Structure 1
Amino acid sequence: MADTTAQDGDGGDGIRTFPFPVDLSVLGVGMQVGPMGTGRTWHAVDAPLERVHRIDFHVVMLFSEGPVRHMVDFAEYEATAGDLLWIRPGQVHRFSAADDYRGTVLTMQPGFLPRATVEATGLYRYDLPPLLHPDDAQLTALRSALAQLRREYEDTTTLPLSLHTAVLRHSLTAFLLRLAHLAASSDRAAGGQADTTFTLFRDAVEKGFATNHSVSAYADQLGYSRRTLVRAVRAATGQTPKGFIDRRVVLEAKRLLAHTDLPIGRVGAAVGFPDAANFSKFFHQHTEMTPAAFRAELR
Protein backbone atom coordinates (compact mmCIF):
# COMPACT_ATOMS: atom_id res chain seq x y z
CA MET A 1 0.00 0.00 0.00
CA ALA A 2 1.18 3.52 -0.63
CA ASP A 3 2.97 5.54 2.03
CA THR A 4 0.97 7.82 4.24
CA THR A 5 2.16 11.30 5.08
CA ALA A 6 2.54 12.15 8.74
CA GLN A 7 2.05 15.63 10.05
CA ASP A 8 3.28 16.99 13.33
CA GLY A 9 0.00 17.97 14.91
CA ASP A 10 1.37 20.09 17.73
CA GLY A 11 5.00 20.85 17.04
CA GLY A 12 7.86 20.32 19.49
CA ASP A 13 7.49 17.05 21.30
CA GLY A 14 3.82 16.61 20.42
CA ILE A 15 2.65 13.18 19.40
CA ARG A 16 2.28 13.05 15.64
CA THR A 17 -1.07 12.85 13.89
CA PHE A 18 -1.44 10.75 10.76
CA PRO A 19 -3.95 12.05 8.21
CA PHE A 20 -5.51 9.82 5.59
CA PRO A 21 -3.34 10.08 2.43
CA VAL A 22 -6.09 10.48 -0.13
CA ASP A 23 -3.59 11.80 -2.66
CA LEU A 24 -1.67 8.52 -2.50
CA SER A 25 -4.57 6.09 -2.69
CA VAL A 26 -5.40 4.46 -6.03
CA LEU A 27 -7.23 7.04 -8.17
CA GLY A 28 -7.49 9.25 -5.08
CA VAL A 29 -10.42 7.36 -3.55
CA GLY A 30 -11.02 7.57 0.19
CA MET A 31 -9.75 4.12 1.09
CA GLN A 32 -6.77 1.80 0.69
CA VAL A 33 -6.45 -1.96 1.06
CA GLY A 34 -3.38 -4.14 0.64
CA PRO A 35 -0.87 -6.40 2.38
CA MET A 36 1.15 -5.73 5.48
CA GLY A 37 4.61 -7.17 5.71
CA THR A 38 8.17 -6.96 4.48
CA GLY A 39 8.55 -5.19 1.17
CA ARG A 40 5.21 -3.38 1.35
CA THR A 41 5.06 0.09 2.88
CA TRP A 42 1.60 0.97 4.14
CA HIS A 43 2.47 3.67 6.64
CA ALA A 44 4.80 6.66 6.81
CA VAL A 45 8.41 5.53 6.62
CA ASP A 46 9.73 8.57 8.51
CA ALA A 47 7.56 8.21 11.59
CA PRO A 48 8.52 6.36 14.81
CA LEU A 49 5.39 4.22 14.90
CA GLU A 50 6.54 2.50 18.09
CA ARG A 51 5.70 5.78 19.81
CA VAL A 52 2.15 6.78 20.67
CA HIS A 53 0.42 8.60 17.81
CA ARG A 54 -3.08 9.49 16.69
CA ILE A 55 -4.87 8.83 13.41
CA ASP A 56 -7.80 10.66 11.82
CA PHE A 57 -9.05 7.68 9.82
CA HIS A 58 -10.10 4.04 10.28
CA VAL A 59 -7.56 1.20 10.24
CA VAL A 60 -8.58 -2.47 10.16
CA MET A 61 -5.79 -5.04 10.30
CA LEU A 62 -6.51 -8.71 9.58
CA PHE A 63 -3.52 -10.71 10.79
CA SER A 64 -2.17 -13.78 9.01
CA GLU A 65 0.58 -14.33 11.59
CA GLY A 66 1.15 -13.60 15.24
CA PRO A 67 1.28 -12.94 18.04
CA VAL A 68 1.47 -9.16 17.62
CA ARG A 69 1.13 -6.76 20.54
CA HIS A 70 -0.48 -3.40 19.82
CA MET A 71 -1.56 -0.57 22.12
CA VAL A 72 -4.90 1.15 21.48
CA ASP A 73 -6.05 3.95 23.78
CA PHE A 74 -3.48 2.90 26.39
CA ALA A 75 -4.63 -0.73 26.60
CA GLU A 76 -2.37 -3.52 25.31
CA TYR A 77 -3.87 -6.11 22.95
CA GLU A 78 -2.31 -9.29 21.62
CA ALA A 79 -3.48 -10.42 18.19
CA THR A 80 -2.71 -13.69 16.51
CA ALA A 81 -3.44 -15.23 13.09
CA GLY A 82 -7.10 -14.77 12.16
CA ASP A 83 -7.69 -11.85 14.55
CA LEU A 84 -8.72 -8.35 13.49
CA LEU A 85 -7.79 -5.05 15.07
CA TRP A 86 -10.10 -2.09 14.38
CA ILE A 87 -8.68 1.35 15.23
CA ARG A 88 -11.05 4.30 14.86
CA PRO A 89 -10.40 7.98 14.12
CA GLY A 90 -9.08 9.93 17.08
CA GLN A 91 -7.81 6.90 18.96
CA VAL A 92 -4.17 6.90 19.96
CA HIS A 93 -2.16 3.78 19.36
CA ARG A 94 1.36 2.41 19.15
CA PHE A 95 2.94 -0.30 17.03
CA SER A 96 5.19 -2.96 18.54
CA ALA A 97 8.77 -2.49 17.38
CA ALA A 98 9.54 -6.13 18.22
CA ASP A 99 6.72 -7.74 16.19
CA ASP A 100 6.20 -8.29 12.47
CA TYR A 101 2.84 -7.15 11.12
CA ARG A 102 1.65 -9.63 8.48
CA GLY A 103 -1.75 -9.84 6.86
CA THR A 104 -4.09 -7.37 5.15
CA VAL A 105 -4.69 -3.77 6.17
CA LEU A 106 -7.67 -1.58 5.27
CA THR A 107 -7.67 2.18 5.81
CA MET A 108 -10.69 4.39 5.24
CA GLN A 109 -11.21 8.13 5.27
CA PRO A 110 -14.12 9.53 7.31
CA GLY A 111 -16.74 10.76 4.87
CA PHE A 112 -16.07 8.09 2.25
CA LEU A 113 -19.30 6.28 3.14
CA PRO A 114 -22.80 7.84 3.34
CA ARG A 115 -24.27 8.64 6.74
CA ALA A 116 -26.79 5.78 6.67
CA THR A 117 -23.99 3.28 6.14
CA VAL A 118 -21.90 4.87 8.87
CA GLU A 119 -24.76 4.42 11.33
CA ALA A 120 -25.58 0.87 10.18
CA THR A 121 -21.97 -0.25 10.53
CA GLY A 122 -21.29 1.45 13.87
CA LEU A 123 -18.15 3.11 12.58
CA TYR A 124 -17.91 5.34 15.63
CA ARG A 125 -18.85 2.85 18.35
CA TYR A 126 -15.85 3.61 20.51
CA ASP A 127 -17.31 1.47 23.27
CA LEU A 128 -16.81 -1.70 21.22
CA PRO A 129 -13.63 -3.75 21.63
CA PRO A 130 -10.90 -3.05 19.05
CA LEU A 131 -9.59 -6.64 19.03
CA LEU A 132 -11.91 -9.17 17.42
CA HIS A 133 -11.67 -12.98 17.32
CA PRO A 134 -13.90 -14.35 14.53
CA ASP A 135 -14.76 -18.04 14.46
CA ASP A 136 -13.88 -20.11 11.40
CA ALA A 137 -17.09 -19.33 9.49
CA GLN A 138 -16.90 -15.60 10.30
CA LEU A 139 -13.22 -15.46 9.33
CA THR A 140 -13.88 -17.17 6.00
CA ALA A 141 -16.63 -14.66 5.18
CA LEU A 142 -14.53 -11.68 6.26
CA ARG A 143 -11.54 -12.83 4.23
CA SER A 144 -13.73 -13.35 1.19
CA ALA A 145 -15.33 -9.90 1.53
CA LEU A 146 -11.94 -8.25 2.05
CA ALA A 147 -10.43 -10.07 -0.94
CA GLN A 148 -13.33 -8.90 -3.11
CA LEU A 149 -12.84 -5.35 -1.88
CA ARG A 150 -9.15 -5.53 -2.71
CA ARG A 151 -9.87 -6.82 -6.23
CA GLU A 152 -12.25 -3.94 -6.83
CA TYR A 153 -9.78 -1.45 -5.38
CA GLU A 154 -6.96 -2.60 -7.66
CA ASP A 155 -9.15 -2.81 -10.78
CA THR A 156 -8.71 0.67 -12.20
CA THR A 157 -9.52 -0.06 -15.87
CA THR A 158 -12.89 -1.82 -15.98
CA LEU A 159 -15.08 1.09 -14.86
CA PRO A 160 -15.02 4.87 -15.03
CA LEU A 161 -13.98 6.55 -11.77
CA SER A 162 -17.51 7.40 -10.61
CA LEU A 163 -18.69 3.79 -10.98
CA HIS A 164 -15.42 2.43 -9.60
CA THR A 165 -15.92 4.53 -6.47
CA ALA A 166 -19.56 3.44 -6.16
CA VAL A 167 -18.59 -0.23 -6.41
CA LEU A 168 -15.89 0.29 -3.80
CA ARG A 169 -18.41 1.83 -1.42
CA HIS A 170 -20.76 -1.14 -1.85
CA SER A 171 -17.96 -3.68 -1.37
CA LEU A 172 -16.61 -1.79 1.63
CA THR A 173 -20.09 -1.64 3.16
CA ALA A 174 -20.49 -5.42 2.79
CA PHE A 175 -17.21 -5.99 4.61
CA LEU A 176 -17.94 -3.46 7.35
CA LEU A 177 -21.42 -4.86 8.02
CA ARG A 178 -19.84 -8.25 8.71
CA LEU A 179 -17.17 -6.62 10.84
CA ALA A 180 -19.71 -4.58 12.79
CA HIS A 181 -21.81 -7.69 13.45
CA LEU A 182 -18.72 -9.44 14.79
CA ALA A 183 -17.85 -6.48 17.00
CA ALA A 184 -21.38 -6.20 18.40
CA SER A 185 -21.56 -9.96 18.96
CA SER A 186 -18.23 -9.89 20.77
CA ASP A 187 -19.47 -7.06 22.97
CA ARG A 188 -22.64 -8.97 23.89
CA ALA A 189 -20.63 -12.09 24.63
CA ALA A 190 -18.47 -10.02 26.98
CA GLY A 191 -21.56 -8.86 28.85
CA GLY A 192 -22.58 -5.74 26.94
CA GLN A 193 -26.16 -5.14 25.87
CA ALA A 194 -27.80 -2.92 23.29
CA ASP A 195 -30.25 -1.63 25.89
CA THR A 196 -31.80 1.67 24.81
CA THR A 197 -31.31 3.27 28.22
CA PHE A 198 -27.60 2.53 28.22
CA THR A 199 -27.21 3.55 24.57
CA LEU A 200 -28.75 6.94 25.27
CA PHE A 201 -26.59 7.36 28.36
CA ARG A 202 -23.44 6.37 26.46
CA ASP A 203 -24.19 8.88 23.71
CA ALA A 204 -24.97 11.62 26.22
CA VAL A 205 -21.69 11.00 28.06
CA GLU A 206 -19.77 11.11 24.79
CA LYS A 207 -21.22 14.54 24.08
CA GLY A 208 -21.04 15.94 27.59
CA PHE A 209 -18.22 14.31 29.58
CA ALA A 210 -15.95 17.36 29.23
CA THR A 211 -18.31 19.46 31.32
CA ASN A 212 -20.75 17.09 33.01
CA HIS A 213 -19.60 14.39 35.45
CA SER A 214 -22.90 14.12 37.35
CA VAL A 215 -24.92 10.90 37.20
CA SER A 216 -28.02 12.72 38.43
CA ALA A 217 -27.66 15.36 35.72
CA TYR A 218 -27.52 12.68 33.01
CA ALA A 219 -30.52 10.89 34.54
CA ASP A 220 -32.51 14.13 34.51
CA GLN A 221 -31.41 14.95 30.98
CA LEU A 222 -32.55 11.53 29.70
CA GLY A 223 -35.75 11.41 31.76
CA TYR A 224 -34.79 8.36 33.83
CA SER A 225 -34.55 7.85 37.53
CA ARG A 226 -31.05 7.45 38.91
CA ARG A 227 -31.90 3.90 39.93
CA THR A 228 -32.99 2.99 36.38
CA LEU A 229 -29.79 4.42 34.98
CA VAL A 230 -27.67 2.51 37.47
CA ARG A 231 -29.38 -0.78 36.56
CA ALA A 232 -29.03 -0.20 32.81
CA VAL A 233 -25.38 0.80 32.90
CA ARG A 234 -24.43 -2.00 35.27
CA ALA A 235 -26.22 -4.57 33.08
CA ALA A 236 -24.49 -3.30 29.93
CA THR A 237 -20.98 -2.73 31.27
CA GLY A 238 -20.65 -4.12 34.77
CA GLN A 239 -19.82 -0.58 35.93
CA THR A 240 -21.69 2.12 37.79
CA PRO A 241 -22.70 5.21 35.78
CA LYS A 242 -20.11 7.21 37.71
CA GLY A 243 -17.43 4.64 36.87
CA PHE A 244 -18.40 4.81 33.19
CA ILE A 245 -18.17 8.63 33.16
CA ASP A 246 -14.85 8.63 34.99
CA ARG A 247 -13.40 6.07 32.60
CA ARG A 248 -14.30 8.27 29.62
CA VAL A 249 -12.82 11.35 31.30
CA VAL A 250 -9.59 9.51 32.08
CA LEU A 251 -9.32 8.27 28.50
CA GLU A 252 -9.67 11.78 27.10
CA ALA A 253 -7.16 13.11 29.62
CA LYS A 254 -4.69 10.41 28.54
CA ARG A 255 -5.23 11.29 24.89
CA LEU A 256 -4.57 14.97 25.55
CA LEU A 257 -1.52 14.26 27.68
CA ALA A 258 -0.10 11.97 25.01
CA HIS A 259 -1.12 13.93 21.95
CA THR A 260 -0.62 17.57 22.94
CA ASP A 261 1.79 19.81 24.77
CA LEU A 262 -1.00 21.49 26.72
CA PRO A 263 -0.03 22.36 30.30
CA ILE A 264 -1.43 19.94 32.87
CA GLY A 265 -3.86 22.58 34.11
CA ARG A 266 -5.31 23.10 30.63
CA VAL A 267 -5.69 19.36 30.13
CA GLY A 268 -7.66 19.23 33.37
CA ALA A 269 -9.82 22.16 32.31
CA ALA A 270 -10.52 20.45 28.97
CA VAL A 271 -12.04 17.45 30.77
CA GLY A 272 -14.02 19.38 33.37
CA PHE A 273 -11.53 20.15 36.17
CA PRO A 274 -10.91 23.91 36.41
CA ASP A 275 -8.63 23.30 39.40
CA ALA A 276 -5.35 21.61 38.39
CA ALA A 277 -4.85 20.06 41.82
CA ASN A 278 -8.26 18.37 41.70
CA PHE A 279 -7.50 17.06 38.22
CA SER A 280 -4.16 15.62 39.33
CA LYS A 281 -5.81 13.96 42.32
CA PHE A 282 -8.56 12.49 40.12
CA PHE A 283 -6.07 11.25 37.52
CA HIS A 284 -3.80 9.67 40.13
CA GLN A 285 -6.77 8.00 41.80
CA HIS A 286 -7.72 6.25 38.55
CA THR A 287 -4.27 5.51 37.09
CA GLU A 288 -1.91 5.46 40.07
CA MET A 289 0.22 7.97 38.15
CA THR A 290 0.40 11.73 38.12
CA PRO A 291 -0.47 13.41 34.80
CA ALA A 292 3.15 14.56 34.47
CA ALA A 293 4.50 11.06 35.05
CA PHE A 294 2.06 9.58 32.54
CA ARG A 295 3.13 12.11 29.88
CA ALA A 296 6.82 11.56 30.59
CA GLU A 297 6.45 7.79 30.21
CA LEU A 298 5.09 8.23 26.66
CA ARG A 299 7.66 10.76 25.44
Structure 2
Amino acid sequence: MVSSGQLSPAPPDTPATARAEIDTLTLGDLASGPGWRRPVLLDRDLLILTAGGHGTAELDFRALPCRPGTLLRVRAGQVLRCAGPHLDATVVRWDADALRGLDVDPDAVPAWLQLAGEDEDAVITEVSQLAVDCQRHHGLAAARGLLRHQLAVLLLRLSLLPEGSRPAPRAEAATFHRLCREIERGYQHTRRVEDYADRLGCSVRTLTRASLAVTGRSAKQVVDERVALQACRLLAATDEPIAQIGRRLGFSEPTNFGRFFTREVGMSPGAFRAARERPAPGPVVRPRPPADAVGGLSRA
Protein backbone atom coordinates (compact mmCIF):
# COMPACT_ATOMS: atom_id res chain seq x y z
CA MET A 1 0.00 0.00 0.00
CA VAL A 2 1.06 3.57 -0.62
CA SER A 3 1.92 5.34 2.61
CA SER A 4 2.70 9.02 2.92
CA GLY A 5 4.80 8.18 5.97
CA GLN A 6 7.07 5.96 3.85
CA LEU A 7 7.55 8.34 0.95
CA SER A 8 10.25 10.96 0.83
CA PRO A 9 8.83 13.73 -1.31
CA ALA A 10 11.04 15.73 -3.62
CA PRO A 11 12.89 18.52 -1.81
CA PRO A 12 11.13 21.89 -1.72
CA ASP A 13 11.88 24.32 -4.50
CA THR A 14 14.43 27.00 -3.89
CA PRO A 15 15.21 30.17 -5.86
CA ALA A 16 18.08 28.32 -7.48
CA THR A 17 15.91 25.47 -8.79
CA ALA A 18 12.78 25.51 -10.90
CA ARG A 19 9.55 24.15 -9.47
CA ALA A 20 9.06 20.50 -10.35
CA GLU A 21 6.52 20.09 -13.14
CA ILE A 22 5.28 16.85 -11.55
CA ASP A 23 5.99 15.86 -7.96
CA THR A 24 4.65 13.88 -5.02
CA LEU A 25 4.22 14.88 -1.40
CA THR A 26 2.30 14.00 1.73
CA LEU A 27 -1.16 15.23 2.60
CA GLY A 28 0.18 17.17 5.57
CA ASP A 29 2.45 19.16 3.26
CA LEU A 30 -0.65 20.80 1.78
CA ALA A 31 -2.09 22.02 5.10
CA SER A 32 -2.12 25.74 5.84
CA GLY A 33 -1.29 25.01 9.49
CA PRO A 34 -1.56 22.36 12.20
CA GLY A 35 -4.84 20.49 12.00
CA TRP A 36 -5.91 22.15 8.74
CA ARG A 37 -7.12 25.22 10.67
CA ARG A 38 -8.49 26.74 7.46
CA PRO A 39 -9.00 25.61 3.87
CA VAL A 40 -6.19 25.85 1.33
CA LEU A 41 -6.69 27.51 -2.07
CA LEU A 42 -4.73 25.34 -4.48
CA ASP A 43 -2.82 26.57 -7.50
CA ARG A 44 -1.96 23.16 -9.03
CA ASP A 45 -3.85 20.00 -9.99
CA LEU A 46 -3.77 17.05 -7.59
CA LEU A 47 -4.56 13.40 -7.15
CA ILE A 48 -4.81 12.27 -3.51
CA LEU A 49 -4.74 8.54 -2.78
CA THR A 50 -5.61 7.50 0.78
CA ALA A 51 -3.64 4.53 2.10
CA GLY A 52 -4.61 4.53 5.77
CA GLY A 53 -6.92 6.10 8.31
CA HIS A 54 -10.47 7.36 8.09
CA GLY A 55 -11.64 10.95 7.90
CA THR A 56 -13.27 13.61 5.78
CA ALA A 57 -11.94 15.83 3.03
CA GLU A 58 -13.82 19.04 2.33
CA LEU A 59 -13.45 19.81 -1.36
CA ASP A 60 -15.05 23.12 -2.26
CA PHE A 61 -17.02 22.84 1.01
CA ARG A 62 -18.49 19.43 0.22
CA ALA A 63 -17.67 16.74 2.76
CA LEU A 64 -16.24 13.58 1.15
CA PRO A 65 -15.57 10.43 3.20
CA CYS A 66 -12.03 9.08 2.96
CA ARG A 67 -10.70 5.64 3.85
CA PRO A 68 -8.07 3.33 2.35
CA GLY A 69 -8.58 3.24 -1.40
CA THR A 70 -10.28 6.63 -1.64
CA LEU A 71 -8.96 8.80 -4.46
CA LEU A 72 -9.65 12.53 -4.80
CA ARG A 73 -9.16 14.54 -7.98
CA VAL A 74 -8.59 18.18 -7.06
CA ARG A 75 -8.46 20.98 -9.63
CA ALA A 76 -6.32 24.09 -9.43
CA GLY A 77 -8.45 26.87 -7.98
CA GLN A 78 -10.43 24.63 -5.65
CA VAL A 79 -10.21 24.80 -1.86
CA LEU A 80 -9.36 21.76 0.23
CA ARG A 81 -9.36 20.91 3.93
CA CYS A 82 -8.98 17.50 5.53
CA ALA A 83 -10.78 17.13 8.84
CA GLY A 84 -11.14 14.42 11.43
CA PRO A 85 -8.68 11.63 12.20
CA HIS A 86 -5.28 11.56 10.55
CA LEU A 87 -5.30 10.39 6.95
CA ASP A 88 -2.25 8.69 5.49
CA ALA A 89 -2.24 9.68 1.82
CA THR A 90 0.05 10.31 -1.12
CA VAL A 91 -0.46 13.42 -3.24
CA VAL A 92 0.49 13.62 -6.91
CA ARG A 93 0.77 17.24 -8.04
CA TRP A 94 1.36 18.71 -11.49
CA ASP A 95 1.46 21.96 -13.43
CA ALA A 96 -1.13 22.80 -16.06
CA ASP A 97 1.38 22.33 -18.90
CA ALA A 98 2.65 18.95 -17.72
CA LEU A 99 0.25 17.05 -20.00
CA ARG A 100 0.45 19.34 -23.01
CA GLY A 101 0.56 17.34 -26.24
CA LEU A 102 -0.62 14.09 -24.63
CA ASP A 103 -3.98 12.54 -25.46
CA VAL A 104 -5.45 12.65 -21.96
CA ASP A 105 -8.23 14.70 -20.35
CA PRO A 106 -7.68 15.16 -16.60
CA ASP A 107 -11.24 16.47 -16.27
CA ALA A 108 -12.54 13.01 -17.19
CA VAL A 109 -11.53 11.85 -13.70
CA PRO A 110 -14.27 12.49 -11.11
CA ALA A 111 -13.64 14.33 -7.86
CA TRP A 112 -14.15 11.21 -5.70
CA LEU A 113 -13.54 7.53 -6.32
CA GLN A 114 -13.59 4.60 -3.94
CA LEU A 115 -11.23 2.06 -5.48
CA ALA A 116 -11.42 -1.66 -4.85
CA GLY A 117 -10.03 -4.95 -6.10
CA GLU A 118 -7.86 -4.99 -9.20
CA ASP A 119 -8.53 -1.30 -9.91
CA GLU A 120 -7.18 -0.33 -6.50
CA ASP A 121 -4.11 -2.53 -6.90
CA ALA A 122 -3.30 -1.07 -10.31
CA VAL A 123 -3.69 2.55 -9.17
CA ILE A 124 -1.60 1.94 -6.03
CA THR A 125 1.15 0.41 -8.14
CA GLU A 126 1.21 3.34 -10.56
CA VAL A 127 1.12 5.99 -7.83
CA SER A 128 3.89 4.19 -5.93
CA GLN A 129 6.11 4.01 -9.01
CA LEU A 130 5.45 7.64 -9.86
CA ALA A 131 6.40 8.65 -6.31
CA VAL A 132 9.62 6.64 -6.47
CA ASP A 133 10.60 8.09 -9.84
CA CYS A 134 9.79 11.66 -8.76
CA GLN A 135 12.18 11.23 -5.84
CA ARG A 136 14.87 9.31 -7.70
CA HIS A 137 14.97 11.57 -10.76
CA HIS A 138 14.17 14.95 -9.16
CA GLY A 139 15.62 17.77 -11.22
CA LEU A 140 16.74 15.60 -14.14
CA ALA A 141 15.52 16.97 -17.46
CA ALA A 142 15.82 13.53 -19.05
CA ALA A 143 13.15 12.16 -16.68
CA ARG A 144 10.49 14.66 -17.77
CA GLY A 145 9.07 12.39 -20.47
CA LEU A 146 8.94 9.42 -18.11
CA LEU A 147 7.00 11.30 -15.44
CA ARG A 148 4.63 12.91 -17.96
CA HIS A 149 3.71 9.56 -19.47
CA GLN A 150 3.35 7.87 -16.09
CA LEU A 151 0.91 10.58 -15.02
CA ALA A 152 -0.98 10.32 -18.32
CA VAL A 153 -1.37 6.54 -17.94
CA LEU A 154 -2.62 6.97 -14.38
CA LEU A 155 -5.22 9.55 -15.43
CA LEU A 156 -6.34 7.45 -18.39
CA ARG A 157 -6.79 4.41 -16.15
CA LEU A 158 -8.92 6.44 -13.73
CA SER A 159 -11.02 7.93 -16.52
CA LEU A 160 -11.84 4.45 -17.86
CA LEU A 161 -13.30 3.12 -14.62
CA PRO A 162 -17.01 2.19 -14.86
CA GLU A 163 -19.54 5.00 -14.71
CA GLY A 164 -21.59 5.20 -11.53
CA SER A 165 -24.55 7.07 -12.97
CA ARG A 166 -26.51 7.33 -16.18
CA PRO A 167 -25.12 10.11 -18.38
CA ALA A 168 -27.17 12.88 -19.93
CA PRO A 169 -27.96 12.75 -23.66
CA ARG A 170 -24.75 13.32 -25.61
CA ALA A 171 -25.82 16.49 -27.43
CA GLU A 172 -27.08 18.18 -24.27
CA ALA A 173 -24.04 17.09 -22.28
CA ALA A 174 -21.78 18.60 -24.95
CA THR A 175 -23.72 21.87 -24.88
CA PHE A 176 -23.53 21.97 -21.10
CA HIS A 177 -19.79 21.31 -21.19
CA ARG A 178 -19.34 24.23 -23.59
CA LEU A 179 -21.40 26.42 -21.28
CA CYS A 180 -19.25 25.49 -18.28
CA ARG A 181 -16.06 26.31 -20.16
CA GLU A 182 -17.50 29.69 -21.13
CA ILE A 183 -18.60 30.33 -17.56
CA GLU A 184 -15.04 29.66 -16.37
CA ARG A 185 -13.84 32.38 -18.71
CA GLY A 186 -16.55 34.89 -17.92
CA TYR A 187 -18.10 34.44 -14.48
CA GLN A 188 -16.14 37.38 -13.02
CA HIS A 189 -17.66 39.70 -15.61
CA THR A 190 -21.25 38.58 -16.21
CA ARG A 191 -23.95 36.44 -14.66
CA ARG A 192 -26.39 36.93 -17.57
CA VAL A 193 -27.26 33.71 -19.39
CA GLU A 194 -28.01 35.86 -22.44
CA ASP A 195 -24.35 36.82 -22.64
CA TYR A 196 -23.23 33.20 -22.59
CA ALA A 197 -25.82 32.27 -25.22
CA ASP A 198 -24.47 35.03 -27.51
CA ARG A 199 -20.90 33.83 -27.06
CA LEU A 200 -21.85 30.24 -27.82
CA GLY A 201 -24.14 31.10 -30.74
CA CYS A 202 -27.25 29.48 -29.30
CA SER A 203 -30.40 30.43 -27.42
CA VAL A 204 -30.99 30.82 -23.71
CA ARG A 205 -33.57 28.06 -24.04
CA THR A 206 -30.93 25.69 -25.45
CA LEU A 207 -28.57 26.36 -22.55
CA THR A 208 -31.33 25.97 -19.99
CA ARG A 209 -32.51 22.69 -21.53
CA ALA A 210 -28.94 21.33 -21.48
CA SER A 211 -28.38 22.45 -17.88
CA LEU A 212 -31.62 20.87 -16.73
CA ALA A 213 -30.76 17.61 -18.49
CA VAL A 214 -27.34 17.34 -16.88
CA THR A 215 -27.88 18.92 -13.47
CA GLY A 216 -31.59 19.38 -12.87
CA ARG A 217 -30.93 23.11 -12.47
CA SER A 218 -31.34 26.04 -14.85
CA ALA A 219 -28.46 27.72 -16.66
CA LYS A 220 -28.94 30.80 -14.47
CA GLN A 221 -28.59 28.68 -11.34
CA VAL A 222 -25.40 27.11 -12.72
CA VAL A 223 -23.89 30.55 -13.39
CA ASP A 224 -24.86 31.90 -9.96
CA GLU A 225 -23.53 28.80 -8.20
CA ARG A 226 -20.17 29.21 -9.91
CA VAL A 227 -19.92 32.82 -8.72
CA ALA A 228 -20.98 31.85 -5.20
CA LEU A 229 -18.47 29.01 -5.15
CA GLN A 230 -15.61 31.35 -6.03
CA ALA A 231 -16.76 33.78 -3.36
CA CYS A 232 -16.72 30.96 -0.80
CA ARG A 233 -13.22 29.93 -1.86
CA LEU A 234 -11.82 33.44 -1.45
CA LEU A 235 -13.64 34.11 1.81
CA ALA A 236 -12.48 30.85 3.37
CA ALA A 237 -8.90 30.60 2.14
CA THR A 238 -7.75 34.24 1.95
CA ASP A 239 -7.88 37.41 4.06
CA GLU A 240 -8.90 39.54 1.10
CA PRO A 241 -11.45 42.23 2.14
CA ILE A 242 -15.04 41.22 1.48
CA ALA A 243 -15.78 44.32 -0.59
CA GLN A 244 -12.75 43.60 -2.79
CA ILE A 245 -13.90 40.01 -3.34
CA GLY A 246 -17.27 41.36 -4.43
CA ARG A 247 -15.63 43.71 -6.92
CA ARG A 248 -13.51 40.87 -8.31
CA LEU A 249 -16.72 38.96 -8.97
CA GLY A 250 -18.45 41.81 -10.78
CA PHE A 251 -20.41 43.48 -7.96
CA SER A 252 -19.99 47.25 -7.97
CA GLU A 253 -21.65 47.63 -4.55
CA PRO A 254 -20.86 45.58 -1.42
CA THR A 255 -24.55 45.47 -0.51
CA ASN A 256 -25.40 43.77 -3.81
CA PHE A 257 -22.66 41.20 -3.25
CA GLY A 258 -23.92 40.61 0.30
CA ARG A 259 -27.50 40.01 -0.86
CA PHE A 260 -26.38 37.70 -3.65
CA PHE A 261 -24.12 35.66 -1.35
CA THR A 262 -26.74 35.36 1.38
CA ARG A 263 -29.33 34.19 -1.13
CA GLU A 264 -27.03 31.54 -2.61
CA VAL A 265 -25.25 30.28 0.49
CA GLY A 266 -27.72 30.99 3.29
CA MET A 267 -25.51 33.26 5.38
CA SER A 268 -23.73 36.58 4.97
CA PRO A 269 -20.14 36.78 3.65
CA GLY A 270 -18.98 37.93 7.09
CA ALA A 271 -20.64 35.02 8.86
CA PHE A 272 -19.23 32.56 6.35
CA ARG A 273 -15.72 33.91 6.86
CA ALA A 274 -16.10 33.83 10.64
CA ALA A 275 -17.01 30.14 10.45
CA ARG A 276 -14.12 29.17 8.16
CA GLU A 277 -12.03 27.68 10.99
CA ARG A 278 -14.77 25.20 11.82
CA PRO A 279 -14.99 22.15 9.51
CA ALA A 280 -18.24 22.20 7.59
CA PRO A 281 -20.66 19.34 8.40
CA GLY A 282 -21.80 19.10 4.78
CA PRO A 283 -22.33 21.05 1.57
CA VAL A 284 -22.35 24.83 1.88
CA VAL A 285 -22.72 25.62 -1.81
CA ARG A 286 -24.60 23.08 -3.89
CA PRO A 287 -21.89 21.16 -5.78
CA ARG A 288 -21.58 21.59 -9.50
CA PRO A 289 -22.57 18.61 -11.64
CA PRO A 290 -20.37 15.72 -12.82
CA ALA A 291 -20.05 16.97 -16.42
CA ASP A 292 -18.45 20.30 -15.63
CA ALA A 293 -14.91 21.42 -15.02
CA VAL A 294 -15.08 20.86 -11.29
CA GLY A 295 -15.74 17.12 -11.64
CA GLY A 296 -18.34 14.76 -10.30
CA LEU A 297 -18.81 12.55 -7.28
CA SER A 298 -20.66 9.75 -8.96
CA ARG A 299 -18.25 6.84 -9.16
CA ALA A 300 -17.61 4.31 -6.46
Same fold (TM over 0.5): yes
Contact 1:58–1:108 (Cα < 8 Å) also in 2: yes
| 1:31 aligned onto 2:12 | no
Counterparts of 1:49 and 1:278 in 2: how far apart (Å)? 32
Which residue identity does 1:171 align to in structure 2?
Q
Contact 1:64–1:103 (Cα < 8 Å) also in 2: yes
Q: Tell me: CA distance 1:46–1:230, structure 2 relative to 1, closer, same or farther (3 Å).
A: closer
Contact 1:2–1:43 (Cα < 8 Å) also in 2: no
Counterparts of 1:3 and 1:51 in 2: how far apart (Å)? 23
TM-score (norm 1): 0.77
| 1:132 aligned onto 2:113 | yes
Among 69, 72, 79, the residue aligned to 2:59: 72
Q: Which residue of 2 aligns with 1:144?
A: 125
Among 99, 120, 133, the residue aligned to 2:104: 120
Q: Which residue of 2 aligns with 1:251?
A: 229
Deviations 1:26-82 (A, max 9, x none): 99643333666xxxx645796552322222222322112342201111111111221
Which residue identity does 2:85 align to in structure 1?
D
Counterparts of 2:32 and 2:265 in 1: how far apart (Å)? 33
| 1:214 aligned onto 2:199 | no
Secondary structure in structure 2 of the residue aligned to 1:70: strand
Q: Tell me: CA distance 1:291–1:167, structure 2 relative to 1, closer, same or farther (3 Å).
A: same
TM-score (norm 2): 0.77
In structure 1, list runs of 5 or more residues that go unmatched: 6-20
Contact 1:4–1:42 (Cα < 8 Å) also in 2: no
Q: Which residue of 2 aligns with 1:163?
A: 142
Aligned residues: 268
Q: Map 1:86-105 onto structure 2 (within 5 A).
A: 86-96=73-83, 98-105=84-91
Q: Which residue of 1 aligns with 2:286?
A: none
In structure 2, list runs of 5 or more residues that go unmatched: 1-6, 278-300
Q: Tell me: CA distance 1:192–1:251, structure 2 relative to 1, closer, same or farther (3 Å).
A: farther
Q: Tell me: CA distance 1:235–1:173, structure 2 relative to 1, closer, same or farther (3 Å).
A: same
Deviations 1:65-110 (A, max 9, x none): 34220111111111122110122222111122x3111243322234
User: What is the percent sequence identity of the aligned residues?
Assistant: 30
TM-aligned CA deviation for residue 244 of structure 1? 0.5
Contact 2:104–2:152 (Cα < 8 Å) also in 1: no
Contact 1:79–1:131 (Cα < 8 Å) also in 2: no
